[in-house]
Amino acid sequence: MEFGGIPQEVTADGQLLEDLAEVARDAALLHGLLMRTRDAPNSSEVVGHAPFALFPSPVPKSLFLQALAAQPLFNRLVDRISRDPEFLENVLASTIKVDDFTARLFSIYRHVLQEGPKQSIVLGLNRSDYMVDQDRDGGMSLKQIEINTIAASFGGLTSQMPDVHRHILGVAERLEDQKKILDNNPAAGLAKGLAKAWELYGSERAVVMFLVEEIQRNIYDHRYIENELWKRNIPVIRRRFEEVFKTGSLDQEKRLFVGGKEVAIVYFRNGYMPQNYTEQSWEVRLMMERSLAIKCPDIGTHLAGTKKVQQELARPGVLESFFPNEPDAVDQIRATFAGQYTLDMGEEGDRTVAMALAEPDVFVLKPQREGGGNNIYGSEICQVLEAVKGGSERTAYILMDKIRPRPSHNYLLRPGEPLRLNACLSELGAFGAYVRHGKDMVMNECVGHLLRTKSVEYSDGGVAAGVAVLDNPLLV
C-alpha cells in the first residue's frame, strides 16, 4: 500500500525513513529552502530549513490545470473591482461600520479618489488559494478559499521545492515519480511583473521598495524575488513603516522619496493586518497611496481582496457585471466558488445565522483578515454568533461552506520535531501577476503555483503560522 506516492518500504523501515529524512533536511538547506529561527528572527547568522513535506502530495491533474487556467481571469476580475468605487462602496458599507481596520483602509481609498489617482500604472501580484472538495459520491471539484491581493507569500521559497523533492525521490529510488515533479518558479514570474511596472515608471535611478515587517523570519522568501530584480539591475531597498515615516516625503509632483531615493514601486510585504499599524503607519500608508509611486497593491486592490467582496461575487449576476458578454469567463470563475452567505442585518442575514447555528460543522466563519489562522470553525462558530447575532457586529464576518478534502498521508519535516506519519490536507495556490497601463493590460499571467500541506488536526493556519509545510503537487 502507498500513501500518495510514499513507498511502503519507507513506512515499514524506521531506519530507512530516518536516513531519508536526514538527506531531505540537508537537501533543503543546500537548495536554499531557508527561514530564520524563532530565537533570532532578524539575524541571518543562524538559519534553519523551512518546514516541508518529505514526499510530494497527490493533486488531481485536471483540477490543478483548472486553477492555473483560471488565474488570468481572477487577475482581470481583481483589477476591475479595484477601479469600481460604487461596487466597493456598496459591498463594504456594512462592514466598515463595525470593522475598524477595513474602515481605515476605506477612508484612505476615499481620500485617494477625491484627490484623484496620481499613477496610471497598476501592478497586481496575487495568489488564489483552493482546496479539493469531495462530495458524498466521491466526486471531486476545485473550490476557492480566498484570493490574497496583498503580501501573497512563499513565491520565493516554493521555487526551490521542485529540486528538493527531485533529490529526495532520486535517493528513494522513485525515478518515475521524480519525473513527475513540475518545474515551478513563481519568484521569477513575480519579479517579471515588478520589472515590467518599474520599466513603465521610467526612471533608472528609482528603486523598488519592499515594505517589510519588524520581525523578518521569512526574509529568504523575499530575497529570491529581490535577487531576480537585482539580476535585471533594478535597485531594491527594504524599509519598515517606521523608517518610511522618518525619512519619507512627497515632492511637488507627488513623487515618493525615502531616505533620498525616489521610489518607483512600493511592494507591500506588510500592512495586511491591524497589528501591522500604528497611527504613524496609517499616516505613511496614506502618503504612499497619494504618491506617484506604483503600489503593489494599491488601496483599491487591497480592498478587492476582502472576504466581503468574495461573498458578494458569489451572488447571481455579480460576475456578469464585471465580465459582460464573456459567459465562458464567468463560468470558469464561478465553477471554483463554494457557497457564500451574508451576515448583513435583515432577513437574509438572519437566515444565515440560523443556518450556521443549526449545523456549525458544515461552515466556516471568516472575518475580514489576511495572513492565516483567523477563521472560525465548529462550536466556536456558535460562541461567536451567539454573542453578535442580534447586532451589527455580525456584519464583520461572512459564512462559507466548509470544504471537505480527502486526506492523504505524509511526513512533515519541521526543525526540532520528531518524524511521524500524518493524515494531511493540502491547499493549492495559483500565483498571478498583471500590469495595467491606463486601459491597456500589458501583462496578465499565471506565474506559478504553491502547495501547502498540514495535518488534519489543524483547521486553519499557514506556513508562517507554524501549521502548514511547503510541498509539491504529484499530479494524479
Blockwise average pLDDT, block size 10, the chain, 476 residues: 56 83 97 96 95 97 98 98 97 93 97 94 98 91 96 97 97 94 98 98 97 96 98 98 98 97 98 96 98 98 95 95 98 95 91 93 84 80 90 88 92 92 96 98 98 86 80 97
Q: In whole angstroms, give the CA distance from residue 79 to residue 272.
A: 18
| 392 in Cβ contact with 98 (< 8 Å) | yes
Cell readout for 62 is 485536471
243 belongs to the catalytic site: no
Which residue has cell 516541508? 52
Q: In whole angstroms, give the CA distance from residue 81 to residue 89.
A: 11
Residue among 131, 191, 195 at smallest CA distance from 159? 191
Q: In whole angstroms, give the CA distance from residue 270 to residue 155.
A: 15
380 belongs to the catalytic site: no
153 belongs to the catalytic site: yes
Which one from 82, 94, 128, 153 is the annotated catalytic residue? 153
Stated pTM of the model: 0.94
User: What's the alpha-carbon Rg for the chain, to the nearest Å?
Assistant: 22
Residues 6 or more apart whose Cβ sits within 8 Å of residue 409:
3, 4, 6, 421, 422, 423, 424
Strands (DSSP E) found in 195-313:
207-211, 236-239, 248-250, 256-258, 261-268, 294-296
36 belongs to the catalytic site: no
**The pLDDT of residue 367:** 86
Q: In whole angstroms, give the CA distance from residue 190 to residue 431.
A: 8
Per-residue CA distances from 106 to 96, 286, 390 (Å): 8, 11, 25
Residues 6 or more apart whose Cβ sits within 8 Å of residue 241:
211, 270, 271, 276, 277, 278, 280, 281, 284, 285
Q: In whole angstroms, give the CA distance from residue 53 to residue 457.
A: 16
Cell readout for 263 is 521610489
Task: Tell me the CA end-to-end span of the chain in Å, nearest whole number.
Answer: 16
**The pLDDT of residue 2:** 39
Q: In whole angstroms, give the CA distance from residue 54 to residue 472.
A: 10
Residue among 349, 350, 355, 401 at smallest CA distance from 375? 401
Angle at 427 between CA 424 and CA 428, to 5 degrees: 140
457 belongs to the catalytic site: no
233 belongs to the catalytic site: no
Which one from 36, 76, 239, 366 is the annotated catalytic residue? 366
Q: In whole angstroms, give the CA distance from residue 353 to residue 344.
A: 10
Q: In whole angstroms, give the CA distance from residue 464 to residue 191.
A: 21
If phi > 0 it is left, if psi is from -120 to 50 it is alpha, else beta; for residue 15 that is alpha
> Domain spans of the chain?
8-338+403-475
179 belongs to the catalytic site: no
- The amino acid occupying position 172 is A
| 257 in Cβ contact with 251 (< 8 Å) | yes
